[in-house]
Structure 1
Amino acid sequence: MAGGSDVAEAAVLSCVRCGKPAHLQCSKCMELKLPREGAAFCTQDCFKASWSSHKSVHLKAKLSSQGAGTLGEQNSNLANEGWLYCLKKGQARTPKLPHFDWTGALRPYPISSRRAVPANIDQPDWAIDGLPKIEPNSNLQHVVEIKTSDQIERMRETCRIAREVLDAAARVIRPGITTDEIDKVVHDATIAAGGYPSPLNYHFFPKSCCTSVNEVICHGIPDARKLEDGDIVNVDVTVYYKGVHGDLNETYFVGNVDEESKRLVQCTYECLEKAISTVKPGVRFREIGEVINRHASMSGFSVVKSYCGHGIGELFHCAPNIPHYGRNKAVGVMKAGQTFTIEPMINAGVWRDRMWPDGWTAVTADGKRSAQFEHTLLVTESGVEVLTGRLASSPNVFPWLKA
């Protein structure tokens, strides 16, 4: 508890975490003039163990005075510069924070205007009007495609670019950077490689990647919020290049993260690795969910059921569907030449989700944190090739990989 001070009360308060007599108080709570009853701790160990949940009290106190406070002024200034809140899946904007029964401490911030793509870049059919034309009616929504050697080579190249783009984003993540700045890095790196950022205007999604912070499960929209020390953030990148898509994501630590969040993120990484290790011809798609569910449950976490992995190639999303939870009813058996993603979303609390007013951002129903990892995979004759695998140049940001 850096900066803690003795509780200046004649009556001894109870520790917020364990209920023992408390002799220390959170200095930030004192600064914000919050009730002492919710700011008392018996030891620094109890304070540190509670930090990930306790710090939300500070943010909520700030948000309660948003209308007249610094945050409100900041958002007003952003609105004057063309930054607005997103509504209706990206088809509408508003200068005011939407009303919503928020599940956690996180709030949406205004977003910047849509980033431009040079005319020489090959673009998918939704780039202009936001509506995919080929994908929804394709036979590949029902039949799992066996890729040709040419398609596979193009996917290898595209997935390598996508990996390099995600690595570029990973290198800039730190406290104080906004998720909009991360989006700019992703956008610029994709364009520089000659690719198109697949999410941009896909069903009107307003940005070039997804950035999902803390309780956001997936599809978070990059905005003006600055990442804070202790946050976790998932960056989801998809690149369209030479007529095919490559899709991957990772969840990163921002500064000093509490132990429970570290455990959640590592477990999610392990869920993906264990699932990938099962991929080979003859394995049923439904087995992936069994493997993931077993590891997550044994670690005390839950598996999101509302979103799944998917086939990928010349289409962004197609068959097969890859559920990540146990006892699922996914149809089909893996065959050499198939390409699809596995992208487990693992929650610290309940698996259920809620949708923010923007129509994209899925958050945990109880406001607890969520993590995700994703790879694009190719089933080979003997097993699996991770098309979006880490490179020798990939930043070494995960402690368990350093060991």
Structure 2
Amino acid sequence: MLLLTAYFGSWFGVLAASTLLFWVRRRPAPPLLAQPWPRVSILIAARNEEAAIGRCLTAIRQLRYPAELVEVLLGDDASTDQTRAVAEQAMQGYAGQFRCLTITDQLGSARGKANVLAHLARAATTAYFFITDADIAVPAGWVQGMLPFAQPEVGTVTGLTVVKGPRLFDQLQGLDWLQSLGLVQVVSDLGRPVTAMGNNMLVTRAAYEATGGYERLPFSVTEDFELFKAVLSRGFTFRNVFRPEVLACSLPISTPRRLLHQRRRWMRGVEALPWWLQGGLLFYAAFYPMLLVLAWVAGPGAALLVLGTKMLLQGLLAYACYRRAGLRMPWHLLPAFELYTVALTVSLSLFRLLPLSFDWKGRLYK
């Protein structure tokens, strides 16, 4: 009982402190964007995205940044569907510059999405690379919201993303995403780098070229994290922006199986985190096994009390995240979110232990 009390007391203490830090941390508004506004490049890697790419490009056409200052580069990664045709139709008559590049050869060590971005970065003609995904709709103020943070010493700026969809499964993904990004923001606000997010990310050309580009980096299925680490190692700093004006909307993962494969890919990035962050994540993930031990030692009543406390504290953190993102908190999701978390944790643990490949954009990786 002493061990259990110490564990849950520490767990709730960390969560309560994180929530408090998220609430009280003052994040000054970004400086005004200096005149004249610079030209920017938007880089999008796409593979078999005919169902999503039109939505993505429509959002880009609605940016409030002057179109004549925007260069949109789409990399078609050997798609076997109508991705290119849909994209070209969506961008017909665009006042800015748009190019769709068919990617057929490999640059250096880069593969998959990293290889596409390596090609796009070489084709880009500006000093700022805005990177997003085909299943993302960026907000109209995206460029103005991110660009002021890209000071000379800053290599990467990471925006905010939420998953939206009509189903319960979609909404649980949204809650999971935003709450996780809130915890990342707390650590980032303390000056500790965690990661960048390649679906809503600004990389300066200076920082990117200092790394040698994706073709010089070790291949990783979490290419955004690999670039983030390389940029930091070259002496650049980072910014994480948790503001409504940079809130992008992601399409949800359609099935539990696909969600499992997505999270298995993300675990590759987790396995490359510093030891103290990995330890923190293990400490966080041990909650449910420890809860079962508590139910066995002290009875189900004590376990339910602890679970209720967890739901309350996590709900307060989630409320803070939704409020700061300019969204309404879905309180009714909290009970289902516990079941979602348990199912995902157990499934992902088994998937990680078994010698199975995971699917990423139609390609298998170990």
Bigger RCO (CA 8 Å, 6+ sep): 2
* More helix, by proportion: 2
User: Please, what TM-score do these two structures have when normalized by structure 1?
Assistant: 0.25
Rg larger in 1 or in 2? 1
TM-score by length of 2: 0.26
The structure in which a higher percent of residues are strand is 1
